[in-house]
Amino acid sequence: MTNAHPHFSAAEFAGRLERLRSRLSALDVEAALFDEIEAMTWITGYGNSENRWRCVVIPIDKEPFFLIRALDAGQCRKRNWIPDVPQYRDWEDPFPVLAERFADRGLSGARIESVLANRARVRGVSLDVVRDEAIAKASLKRMVTADDIAHAIVFLASPRGANISGHALPVDADTQALA
């Protein structure tokens, strides 16, 4: 953004990012995704309550980004300090764009890969051996992808997920078998 922010300075935005990233680090979380209007507005100063899904993603060590419908992207760019604003058209599914942005930032499965790589190193076997063993133990016989997580988020944020409250929804392909 090149103009002055209508709500807070670049320094205030940097401070908010730092506090959030510090908390993410303490929790050992790679990124936070906010699709709730108050949280989005707190971190960025921009909130959009239109009827299409939107979110802001704050990775712990990569650049943050907004994902918003194309019709709202111009105002979003003008009213926040995050320059990366991928967009989708009203008739498109936003989640392939979200998954692509996660992958661009190395957030697509990076954590499980590091866990599996460490297990392979400790055991003195290849990463492929450990990955194949993990998949064989998982009831769904596959690893979770960024698309899987994105689709769960869409469901919970949609009218179809409106009656789900107070529960965790593990999107893990039954990875408790990996423990």
Are both 121 and 140 inside the same structural domain? Answer: yes
Are both 98 and 130 inside the same structural domain? Answer: no
Are both 129 and 162 inside the same structural domain? Answer: yes
pLDDT at 6: 65
Are both 40 and 75 inside the same structural domain? Answer: yes
| Alpha carbon distance 132, 63 (integer Å) | 33
pLDDT at 109: 61
Are both 17 and 94 inside the same structural domain? Answer: yes
Are both 12 and 36 inside the same structural domain? Answer: yes
Are both 90 and 114 inside the same structural domain? Answer: no
Whole-model pTM: value is: 0.64
Q: How far is CA 15 from CA 60, 63, 122, 143, in A?
A: 14, 15, 39, 36
Are both 124 and 150 inside the same structural domain? Answer: yes
Q: Which residues of the chain have pLDDT under 70?
A: 1-6, 49-50, 108-112, 114-115, 166, 168, 173-179
pLDDT at 2: 47
Are both 38 and 72 inside the same structural domain? Answer: yes
CB atoms within 10 A of CB 119: 17
Boundaries of domain holding 53:
1-105
Number of folded domains that form the chain: 2
On whether the CB atoms of residues 135 and 143 are closer than 8 A, the answer is yes
Are both 86 and 58 inside the same structural domain? Answer: yes
pLDDT at 177: 47
Find the CATH number of the domain harbouring 49: 3.40.350.10
On whether the CB atoms of residues 34 and 68 are closer than 8 A, the answer is no
Are both 21 and 66 inside the same structural domain? Answer: yes
